[in-house]
Amino acid sequence: MMSRISEMIDPVGGFVSGAIFADQQIYEQELENVWQRTWVFLAHESMLPKQGSYIQTYIGEDPVIVVRQKSGAVKAFLNQCRHRGMRICRADRGRAKSFMCSFHGWAYDLEGNLVSFPHESNAYPEGIDKSKLSAIKVPRIENYKGFIFGSWDETIPPLEEYLGNAKYYLDGYLDRYEGGMEAIAVHKWVLPANWKFNVEQPTSDMQHSEISHVSAVEALASGSDTFDRKSGRKKVPEGRQFLSPYGHGGAFFGKRGEEIPNTAPALVDWENSVRDKIEQRLGEFREVRGHMNVFPNFMMLGNYTFRVTHPRGPEEMEIWSWAFVPKDAPEEVKEAIRVDIMRTFSPGGMFEQDDAENWEEMQHILRGAKSRQTGFTYNMRRLPVVYDDDGYPGQSTAHVYSDNAALNMYGFYRDLMEGHSWEELKQMRQGVPEVDKRDFTRVMDPETAAAAAQSDGAYFPTADS
């Protein structure tokens, strides 16, 4: 498995095998080596307002309950009874004093400790040590400015270290307002496509918008001279893409200081009225546009769509998408954001339908044996990676159309899949990123591709091949 993964992902040559989006064995390895070893978004403070408030979510395919404790702290544990493995909680969210399995009545407190079960005194004459049968706790829980993340891996670096230079861009979304953010609505839906198709897009891919979204962009920008009617964007697009050692990335249109308006005019007007406070908070008027992803699956879009993509097998994902709003904003601004999200990135939104059609069709094609052995091309890399350039911290590319952040994400994904420890990962992901060692001569030749078709996986030649 490990050798196959290293052959399937080549950030230097710019190739990714189609098999990583469709292979069941690879998917099973992801559940072990990606989802159990990264920081995963669980909940926001506004979703847990009181003692006993809880939300049910997932880390990979493992259901977890996230609960506000009596102390005010937040804890999380596996939503699985230690008796026969039934869910402890069946509701998506609510408020509780305890949780009881509906199969045999085993009960757990807000920390996930087993507190009682039926017939304890007469059916278990030798007794049971309840302290050894607590629900499995998520050992690492950290809060970044109201956004709560969890990890099964006790050796993972602290959350802020894991975020790295992505914090600068992340703060432009979630630390923008003195009163913070709150979630006011959520949509959940299932798509027949691999979870990585979704997370790659906010990490890197802005170029698809001028093709896939041209009709929606033209409708939203009607009467504007900023957009070209044929492409939906400027003829020479400007912008930037950033990448972070642990696979985070994002991209946006426009130059520094050139604000591209959010599609909700009421929000733009309100932001202009509080611009001084934003500048005081962030040091400058920080961009919120385009999109970004915190690896593996926490995405932000420029109109305050925040979402996660839960894996549901190699050919299916479940998307949970929240409308977040500034808590202190007037109600008409909050409503404008909600409506804007409904018409753009909800299941019926103009942009979301375009994206879903692409991902679903890509996945359908990967049912073919030859298609799975095909290498996808990631060579949109005209400009190199720059460092702390023009006030943007960390690594970035001074062009909005680039595959660098996607390849960087897949490089980190590969390193996780190969089973490297976090001590090894911290060493491996330092310094010059692989994507800055571009080699466009590393292409898959026809003979190698034909040989791969007879084997159990694709092969990408190395520099020594």
Q: Which CATH number fits the domain that encloses residue 127?
A: 2.102.10.10
pLDDT given at position 112: 97
Based on the fold, state whether residues 205 and 109 are members of the same structural domain: no
Based on the fold, state whether residues 19 and 106 are members of the same structural domain: no
The SS3 assignment for 179 reads coil
Q: Is residue 356 part of a domain?
A: yes
pLDDT given at position 221: 57
Query: For residue 220, what pLDDT band results from cuts at 50, 70 and 90?
Result: low
What is the enclosing helix (H) or strand (E) of 412? Answer: helix 404-417
Q: How far is the C-alpha of 423 from the C-alpha of 156, rounded, in Å?
A: 9
Q: Is residue 150 part of a domain?
A: no
More confident residue, 457 or 164: 164
pLDDT given at position 235: 52
- Rounded mean pLDDT, 84-106: 96
Based on the fold, state whether residues 57 and 189 are members of the same structural domain: no
CA 135 to chain CA centroid, Å, is 26
Question: Residue 148 to residues 48, 117, 142, 182: CA-CA distances in angstroms?
Answer: 10, 31, 6, 13
- Reply yes or no on whether the pLDDT at 226 is more than 60: no
Q: How far is the C-alpha of 39 from the C-alpha of 154, rounded, in Å?
A: 11
pLDDT given at position 255: 72
For the chain, the average pLDDT equals 86
Where are the alpha helices (H) located in 142-257, listed in sequence order? Answer: 159-163, 166-174, 195-204, 209-212, 214-220
Q: Name the maximum alpha-carbon separation found in the chain.
A: 81
44 forms bridges with which residues in the sheet?
A: 147
pLDDT given at position 374: 79
pLDDT digits (tens, 9 = 90+) for 168-203: 999 988 898 889 999 999 999 999 999 999 999 999
- Reply yes or no on whether the pLDDT at 284 is more than 80: no
Based on the fold, state whether residues 228 and 301 are members of the same structural domain: yes
- Reply yes or no on whether the pLDDT at 3 is more than 60: no
CA 246 to chain CA centroid, Å, is 12
Give phi and psi for 76, each to the nearest 5: -140, 150
Asked whether the beta carbons of 336 and 262 are under 8 A apart, the reply is: no
Based on the fold, state whether residues 16 and 112 are members of the same structural domain: no
Q: Is residue 148 part of a domain?
A: no
Q: Is residue 152 part of a domain?
A: no
Based on the fold, state whether residues 315 and 362 are members of the same structural domain: yes
The residue out of 81, 109, 143 marking a domain boundary is 143
More confident residue, 433 or 54: 54
pLDDT digits (tens, 9 = 90+) for 318-344: 999 999 999 999 999 999 999 988 888
Q: How far is the C-alpha of 259 from the C-alpha of 329, rounded, in Å?
A: 20
Nearest to 364 by CA among 21, 16, 14: 21
Q: Is residue 7 part of a domain?
A: yes
- Reply yes or no on whether the pLDDT at 227 is more than 50: no
Which domain range does residue 57 map to? Answer: 40-143
Based on the fold, state whether residues 171 and 101 are members of the same structural domain: no
pLDDT given at position 82: 96
Based on the fold, state whether residues 302 and 393 are members of the same structural domain: yes
pLDDT digits (tens, 9 = 90+) for 355-414: 778 889 989 999 998 888 778 889 888 788 999 988 889 999 888 888 999 999 999 999
* Termini Cα distance of the chain: 20
Give phi and psi for 401, each to the nearest 5: -95, 105
Nearest to 134 by CA among 96, 103, 108: 108
Give whichever of 50-59, 124-133, 205-214 has the largest mean pLDDT: 50-59
Based on the fold, state whether residues 304 and 367 are members of the same structural domain: yes
Based on the fold, state whether residues 175 and 307 are members of the same structural domain: yes
Which stretch of 35-39, 194-198, 461-465 has the lowest confidence by average pLDDT? 461-465
Q: Which amino acid is at 291?
A: H
pLDDT given at position 7: 85
User: Considering its fold, how many domains does the chain have in total?
Assistant: 2
Please state at what angle helix 265-273 crosses helix 331-344, rounded to 10 degrees: 140
User: Which CATH number does the domain housing residue 381 bear?
Assistant: 3.90.380.10
The residue out of 80, 108, 143 marking a domain boundary is 143
Q: How far is the C-alpha of 290 from the C-alpha of 275, rounded, in Å?
A: 20
- Rounded mean pLDDT, 208-237: 57
Based on the fold, state whether residues 135 and 254 are members of the same structural domain: no
Question: Residue 396 to residues 36, 246, 249, 252: CA-CA distances in angstroms?
Answer: 28, 14, 9, 12
- Rounded mean pLDDT, 221-227: 49
Percentage of the chain beyond pLDDT 90 is 56
Based on the fold, state whether residues 46 and 1 are members of the same structural domain: no
pLDDT digits (tens, 9 = 90+) for 300-313: 988 889 999 999 99
Q: How far is the C-alpha of 298 from the C-alpha of 307, rounded, in Å?
A: 6
pLDDT given at position 399: 84
Q: Is residue 160 part of a domain?
A: no
Q: Is residue 159 part of a domain?
A: no
- Rounded mean pLDDT, 21-41: 96
Instruction: State the number of CA atoms in the 13 A half-sphere of 203 facing the CB.
Output: 27
The residue out of 109, 143, 177 marking a domain boundary is 143
pLDDT given at position 128: 87
- Rounded mean pLDDT, 138-158: 97
Retrieve residue 417's tokens: 């899949």
48-56: long-range pairs with CB below 8 Å, 24+: 48/74, 48/148, 50/95, 51/110, 52/95, 52/96, 52/97, 52/110, 53/93, 53/94, 53/95, 54/89, 54/93, 54/94, 54/95, 54/96, 55/92, 55/93, 56/89, 56/91, 56/92, 56/93
Question: Residue 228 to residues 214, 233, 252: CA-CA distances in angstroms?
Answer: 10, 5, 17
Query: For residue 217, what pLDDT band results from cuts at 50, 70 and 90?
Result: low
Question: Residue 14 to residues 172, 220, 300, 367, 429: CA-CA distances in angstroms?
Answer: 30, 34, 25, 23, 18
Q: Is residue 151 part of a domain?
A: no
